[in-house]
């Protein structure tokens, strides 16, 4: 049975982990996630992605039993592959929304950190408990958490291995929205659909500017922003948006959704 499932819902794709009971990452699930990420990166009809682990939980982390049986060289290769896979998810050109239910621990939280926006259930439990096993996060926890929360909060979470509940997660910015457990997927899908209606090239450029600019000097980030800003002016969506603003005012443009596809019809046109 497949451990990662892709389901298209119009322009939104749901990337679901399906490895019960805990969606624990092993080599098979890692490989299937990598294949799904590559498929999504090349999918011109997908405008946004929702990461989901199911109604019960998001993902409880790595398969500890499998890791405990590995030697140092095998661990290094396994970790390198998982880092690369998560990075492929983080680098998807379209917006990615994580729908987090139940538990997102260890590698599960590290995968959620690859998303651009995180919707969490009000009973969610998040954490990086690796230190309690005498190890450290290895798939982005020390790096993506630091960029999201800052060094002090990240060290606190990683050095204690403590659990974080929804209220605190929202307060410190670990998640972006908290909703009742039964509404997590629907809320994530609704937000993803809103983004999917936007200009695809501009959304991709925003993601690239923010993600890559944050790791550089301000001057380098501004140069990247300038290049991306200039580039989106050549897209059909930019032509649509600018013309719509001049003719109808702000917020009325109906975008075609593909930088190379000239769909310039406005709302109400045949």
Active site residue 130: yes
* Catalytic pick among 122, 130, 167, 266: 130
Query: Among residues 7, 55, 88, 110, which one is catalytic?
Result: 110
Q: Which residues contact 104 (CB under 8 A, 6 or more apart)?
A: 53, 57, 58, 59, 111, 112, 120, 124, 125, 126
Three-class SS of the chain: CCCEEEEEECCEEEEEECCCCCCCECHHHHHHHHHHHHHHHCCCCCCEEEEECCCCCCECCECHHHHHCCCHHHHHHHHHHHHHHHHHHHCCCCCEEEEECCEEECHHHHHHCCCCEEEEECCCEEECHHHHHCCCCCCCHHHHHHHHHCHHHHHHHHHHCCCEEHHHHHHHCCCCEEECHHHHHHHHHHHHHHHHCCCHHHHHHHHHHHHHHCCCCHHHHHHHHHHHHHHHCCCHHHHHHHHHHHHHCCCCCCCCCCCCCCCCCCCCCC
What is the rounded CA–CA span in Å between residue 161 and residue 138? Answer: 14
Known catalytic residue at 88: no
Catalytic amino acids? 110, 130
């Amino acid at each position: 049975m497949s451990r990662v499932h892709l389901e298209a819902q119009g322009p939104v794709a749901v990337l679901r982990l399906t490895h019960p009971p805990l969606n624990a990452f092993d080599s098979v699930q890692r490989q299937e996630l990598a294949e799904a990420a590559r498929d999504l990166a090349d999918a011109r009809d997908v405008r946004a992605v929702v990461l989901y682990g199911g109604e019960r939980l998001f993902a409880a982390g790595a398969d500890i039993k499998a890791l405990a049986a590995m030697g140092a060289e095998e661990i290094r290769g396994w970790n390198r592959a998982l880092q690369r896979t998560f990075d492929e998810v983080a680098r998807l050109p379209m917006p990615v929304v994580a729908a987090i239910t139940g538990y997102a621990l260890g590698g599960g939280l590290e995968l959620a950190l690859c998303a651009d926006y995180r919707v969490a259930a009000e009973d969610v439990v998040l954490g990086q408990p690796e230190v309690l096993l005498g190890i450290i996060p290895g798939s982005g926890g020390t790096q993506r958490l630091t960029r999201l929360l800052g060094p002090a909060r990240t060290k606190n979470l990683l050095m204690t291995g403590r659990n974080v509940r929804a209220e605190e997660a929202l307060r410190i910015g670990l998640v972006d929205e908290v909703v009742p457990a039964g509404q997590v997927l629907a809320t994530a899908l609704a937000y993803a659909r809103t983004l999917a209606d936007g200009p695809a090239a501009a959304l991709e450029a925003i993601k690239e500017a923010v993600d890559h600019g944050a790791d550089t000097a301000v001057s380098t980030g501004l140069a990247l922003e300038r290049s991306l800003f200039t580039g989106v002016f050549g897209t059909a969506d930019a032509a649509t948006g600018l013309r719509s603003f001049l003719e109808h005012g702000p917020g009325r443009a109906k975008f075609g959704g593909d930088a190379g596809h000239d769909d310039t019809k406005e709302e109400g046109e045949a």
